[in-house]
Amino acid sequence: MKDLKSSCTPQYKEYVENFKWAFEKGCSWSNVGGVEGTLDDGLTKFKDNFNPTINEFIGEFDIPIYPFMYRLTQKAYKILKSKHM
């Protein structure tokens, strides 16, 4: 028989509490961070216990440091982020 303590890590309680808090606040989803690209690592296997929806994005972007471009990028980021919430 598997040892109960080894199968119930602190992350389970933390995630459950985070989900509970988010749903009590009216959120329709909660983010628990990313996963590796191969989907076969330990972190992904752990997060799989929560029946996640994995959104895949191609690449990443850097925020420019020039003041005008920074403000423009922040505005675009907020608009794009609001469409996904």
Instruction: Assess whether pLDDT exceeds 50 at residue 56.
Output: yes
Cβ atoms 63, 46 nearer than 8 A: no
DSSP class of residue 48? G
47/31 Cα distance (integer angstroms):
11
Computed on alpha carbons and rounded to an integer, the radius of gyration of the chain in Å comes to 18
Structural domain spans, the chain: 4-83
pLDDT in tens, 3-17: 555 566 677 788 888
* pLDDT, tens digit, 9 for 90 and up, residues 11-43: 778 888 888 998 899 988 887 777 777 777 887
Positive or negative, the Cα torsion across 22, 81, 51, 4?
negative
pTM: 0.45
DSSP line for 8-71: S-HHHHHHHHHHHHHHHTT-S--------TTS-SHHHHHHGGG-PPPPP--S------SHHHHH
